[in-house]
Amino acid sequence: MRQTRTQGLENLRQEELVGILDTVTQESVRLGNELRDLERIRDRLASGADSEAAAVQVAQERADTLAILAGTKAATGPGITMTITDPDGQISSTILLDALEELRDAGAEVIQIGPVRVVASTYFTDVDGGISVSGTNVAPPYIFRAIGDAPTMAAAMEIPGGVGESVRGKGGEVTIAARDEVSITATYEPKTPQFARPAPTPSSSASS
Protein backbone atom coordinates (compact mmCIF):
# COMPACT_ATOMS: atom_id res chain seq x y z
CA MET A 1 0.00 0.00 0.00
CA ARG A 2 2.78 2.44 0.89
CA GLN A 3 4.67 1.61 -2.29
CA THR A 4 1.63 2.36 -4.44
CA ARG A 5 1.14 5.73 -2.79
CA THR A 6 4.79 6.69 -3.20
CA GLN A 7 4.74 5.82 -6.88
CA GLY A 8 1.68 8.05 -7.36
CA LEU A 9 3.01 11.21 -5.70
CA GLU A 10 3.67 12.86 -9.04
CA ASN A 11 -0.06 12.68 -9.76
CA LEU A 12 -1.16 14.48 -6.58
CA ARG A 13 -2.24 18.11 -6.41
CA GLN A 14 -0.15 20.66 -4.53
CA GLU A 15 -2.53 20.80 -1.56
CA GLU A 16 -2.45 16.99 -1.32
CA LEU A 17 1.35 16.99 -1.28
CA VAL A 18 1.28 19.67 1.42
CA GLY A 19 -1.06 17.46 3.45
CA ILE A 20 1.34 14.53 3.19
CA LEU A 21 4.25 16.77 4.21
CA ASP A 22 2.25 17.99 7.22
CA THR A 23 1.63 14.37 8.24
CA VAL A 24 5.35 13.58 8.07
CA THR A 25 6.15 16.75 10.01
CA GLN A 26 3.65 15.88 12.75
CA GLU A 27 5.18 12.41 13.10
CA SER A 28 8.66 13.93 13.31
CA VAL A 29 7.51 16.28 16.08
CA ARG A 30 5.87 13.40 17.98
CA LEU A 31 9.03 11.30 17.80
CA GLY A 32 11.12 14.27 18.89
CA ASN A 33 8.91 14.80 21.94
CA GLU A 34 9.09 11.11 22.78
CA LEU A 35 12.89 11.21 22.54
CA ARG A 36 13.06 14.18 24.90
CA ASP A 37 10.80 12.41 27.39
CA LEU A 38 13.05 9.35 27.33
CA GLU A 39 16.14 11.52 27.79
CA ARG A 40 14.56 13.18 30.84
CA ILE A 41 13.79 9.77 32.32
CA ARG A 42 17.36 8.64 31.68
CA ASP A 43 18.75 11.74 33.38
CA ARG A 44 16.49 11.28 36.42
CA LEU A 45 17.61 7.70 36.89
CA ALA A 46 21.27 8.51 36.29
CA SER A 47 21.33 11.42 38.76
CA GLY A 48 21.10 9.08 41.75
CA ALA A 49 18.90 11.58 43.61
CA ASP A 50 15.89 9.74 44.96
CA SER A 51 16.62 7.12 42.31
CA GLU A 52 14.45 4.41 43.88
CA ALA A 53 11.33 6.60 43.91
CA ALA A 54 12.10 7.76 40.38
CA ALA A 55 12.51 4.17 39.20
CA VAL A 56 9.15 3.20 40.73
CA GLN A 57 7.46 6.18 39.07
CA VAL A 58 9.04 5.39 35.71
CA ALA A 59 7.99 1.75 36.01
CA GLN A 60 4.40 2.77 36.80
CA GLU A 61 4.29 5.23 33.90
CA ARG A 62 5.66 2.54 31.60
CA ALA A 63 3.09 0.03 32.86
CA ASP A 64 0.26 2.52 32.28
CA THR A 65 1.50 3.24 28.76
CA LEU A 66 1.74 -0.45 27.90
CA ALA A 67 -1.75 -1.06 29.34
CA ILE A 68 -3.21 1.68 27.15
CA LEU A 69 -1.45 0.33 24.06
CA ALA A 70 -2.58 -3.22 24.89
CA GLY A 71 -6.16 -2.02 25.29
CA THR A 72 -6.54 -3.09 28.91
CA LYS A 73 -6.84 0.45 30.32
CA ALA A 74 -9.19 3.31 29.44
CA ALA A 75 -7.64 6.38 27.84
CA THR A 76 -8.41 10.02 27.16
CA GLY A 77 -6.81 12.70 25.03
CA PRO A 78 -7.30 14.96 22.00
CA GLY A 79 -8.49 13.37 18.79
CA ILE A 80 -11.52 12.83 16.59
CA THR A 81 -14.89 11.20 16.46
CA MET A 82 -15.63 9.83 12.99
CA THR A 83 -19.05 8.64 11.87
CA ILE A 84 -19.53 6.51 8.75
CA THR A 85 -23.14 6.23 7.60
CA ASP A 86 -24.45 3.34 5.50
CA PRO A 87 -28.04 4.06 4.40
CA ASP A 88 -27.96 1.45 1.63
CA GLY A 89 -26.20 -1.30 3.58
CA GLN A 90 -23.26 -1.28 1.17
CA ILE A 91 -20.35 -0.54 3.50
CA SER A 92 -18.22 -3.68 3.79
CA SER A 93 -15.80 -4.84 6.45
CA THR A 94 -12.98 -4.06 4.01
CA ILE A 95 -13.84 -0.35 4.10
CA LEU A 96 -13.81 -0.30 7.90
CA LEU A 97 -10.48 -2.11 7.90
CA ASP A 98 -9.12 0.50 5.48
CA ALA A 99 -10.37 3.26 7.78
CA LEU A 100 -8.63 1.65 10.74
CA GLU A 101 -5.36 1.27 8.85
CA GLU A 102 -5.49 4.90 7.66
CA LEU A 103 -6.02 6.10 11.23
CA ARG A 104 -3.11 4.01 12.44
CA ASP A 105 -0.89 5.30 9.63
CA ALA A 106 -1.90 8.84 10.61
CA GLY A 107 -0.62 8.27 14.14
CA ALA A 108 -3.77 7.31 16.04
CA GLU A 109 -2.62 6.00 19.41
CA VAL A 110 -5.87 4.55 20.75
CA ILE A 111 -9.01 3.63 18.78
CA GLN A 112 -12.50 2.43 19.65
CA ILE A 113 -15.09 1.31 17.09
CA GLY A 114 -18.60 1.30 18.50
CA PRO A 115 -18.25 -0.58 21.80
CA VAL A 116 -15.04 -2.40 20.77
CA ARG A 117 -11.49 -1.41 21.74
CA VAL A 118 -9.09 -1.84 18.84
CA VAL A 119 -5.98 -3.94 19.52
CA ALA A 120 -3.41 -5.70 17.36
CA SER A 121 -5.68 -8.73 16.90
CA THR A 122 -8.84 -6.79 15.94
CA TYR A 123 -10.60 -8.25 12.90
CA PHE A 124 -13.70 -7.48 10.81
CA THR A 125 -16.26 -9.72 9.14
CA ASP A 126 -19.45 -8.97 7.23
CA VAL A 127 -22.68 -10.01 8.98
CA ASP A 128 -26.38 -9.43 8.38
CA GLY A 129 -27.31 -5.87 9.31
CA GLY A 130 -23.80 -4.63 9.87
CA ILE A 131 -20.23 -5.68 10.55
CA SER A 132 -18.69 -7.85 13.25
CA VAL A 133 -15.70 -6.28 14.99
CA SER A 134 -13.73 -9.03 16.74
CA GLY A 135 -16.93 -11.01 17.25
CA THR A 136 -19.13 -8.10 18.36
CA ASN A 137 -21.85 -7.12 15.89
CA VAL A 138 -21.88 -3.39 15.19
CA ALA A 139 -24.70 -1.77 13.21
CA PRO A 140 -24.39 1.46 11.22
CA PRO A 141 -23.68 4.26 11.66
CA TYR A 142 -20.14 3.15 12.48
CA ILE A 143 -18.55 5.44 15.06
CA PHE A 144 -14.77 5.59 15.42
CA ARG A 145 -13.15 7.34 18.39
CA ALA A 146 -9.44 7.95 17.95
CA ILE A 147 -6.84 9.71 20.09
CA GLY A 148 -4.11 11.46 18.17
CA ASP A 149 -3.49 14.53 16.03
CA ALA A 150 -6.94 15.50 14.72
CA PRO A 151 -5.92 17.37 11.52
CA THR A 152 -3.59 14.56 10.47
CA MET A 153 -6.20 11.84 11.03
CA ALA A 154 -8.93 13.86 9.29
CA ALA A 155 -6.68 14.45 6.28
CA ALA A 156 -5.91 10.72 6.07
CA MET A 157 -9.59 9.97 5.43
CA GLU A 158 -9.56 12.14 2.30
CA ILE A 159 -6.49 10.73 0.56
CA PRO A 160 -7.37 10.34 -3.16
CA GLY A 161 -8.91 6.92 -3.69
CA GLY A 162 -9.11 6.40 0.05
CA VAL A 163 -11.76 5.86 2.68
CA GLY A 164 -13.80 9.00 2.03
CA GLU A 165 -14.20 8.24 -1.66
CA SER A 166 -14.95 4.57 -0.98
CA VAL A 167 -17.70 5.40 1.51
CA ARG A 168 -19.33 8.01 -0.72
CA GLY A 169 -19.14 5.60 -3.63
CA LYS A 170 -21.33 3.23 -1.59
CA GLY A 171 -23.89 5.93 -0.79
CA GLY A 172 -22.56 6.72 2.68
CA GLU A 173 -20.97 9.77 4.27
CA VAL A 174 -17.96 10.36 6.49
CA THR A 175 -18.31 13.00 9.21
CA ILE A 176 -15.34 13.93 11.37
CA ALA A 177 -15.40 16.09 14.49
CA ALA A 178 -12.15 17.23 16.12
CA ARG A 179 -12.32 17.19 19.92
CA ASP A 180 -10.06 18.46 22.67
CA GLU A 181 -10.87 15.36 24.68
CA VAL A 182 -11.87 11.95 23.38
CA SER A 183 -12.70 9.29 25.95
CA ILE A 184 -11.89 5.69 25.07
CA THR A 185 -13.80 3.67 27.65
CA ALA A 186 -13.89 0.21 26.06
CA THR A 187 -11.19 -2.18 27.20
CA TYR A 188 -9.86 -5.48 25.91
CA GLU A 189 -9.69 -8.66 27.96
CA PRO A 190 -6.53 -10.52 26.88
CA LYS A 191 -6.91 -14.23 26.26
CA THR A 192 -4.44 -16.66 27.78
CA PRO A 193 -2.37 -18.24 24.98
CA GLN A 194 -3.18 -21.89 24.46
CA PHE A 195 0.14 -22.86 22.88
CA ALA A 196 2.59 -19.95 23.14
CA ARG A 197 5.02 -19.71 26.04
CA PRO A 198 7.65 -17.06 26.84
CA ALA A 199 10.93 -17.80 25.09
CA PRO A 200 13.92 -18.43 27.37
CA THR A 201 16.21 -15.46 27.91
CA PRO A 202 19.61 -15.56 26.13
CA SER A 203 21.36 -16.17 29.45
CA SER A 204 19.09 -19.14 30.20
CA SER A 205 19.76 -20.59 26.76
CA ALA A 206 23.49 -20.15 27.13
CA SER A 207 23.60 -21.88 30.51
CA SER A 208 21.51 -24.87 29.41
Mean pLDDT of the 41-55 span: 68
For 138, phi then psi, to 5°, come to -125, 125
Half-sphere exposure of 115 (CA within 13 A, CB side): 6
Q: What is the pLDDT of residue 4?
A: 38
Mean pLDDT of the 153-178 span: 94
Lowest mean pLDDT among 5-19, 96-110, 152-166, 180-194: 5-19
Rounded to whole angstroms, how far apart are CA atoms 117 and 112?
A: 4
Q: What is the pLDDT of residue 5?
A: 41
| DSSP assignments along 3-36, one per residue | HHHHHTGGGS-HHHHHHHHHHHHHHHHHHHHHHH
Give me the chain's average pLDDT, please.
Answer: 82
The CA-CA-CA angle for residues 84, 86, 92, to 5°, reads: 90
* Contact call for residues 146 and 153 (beta carbons, < 8 A): yes
Amino acid at 195: F
The CA-CA-CA angle for residues 168, 173, 176, to 5°, reads: 125
Q: Which of 198, 193, 194, 186 is nearest to 70 (CA)?
A: 186
Write down the domain spans for the chain.
2-70, 75-184
* Contact call for residues 96 and 142 (beta carbons, < 8 A): yes
Domain 75-184 has CATH 3.30.420.40: no
Structure confidence by residue, pLDDT tens digits, 81-131: 999 999 999 999 999 999 999 999 999 999 999 999 999 889 999 999 999
Q: How does DSSP classify residue 137?
A: E
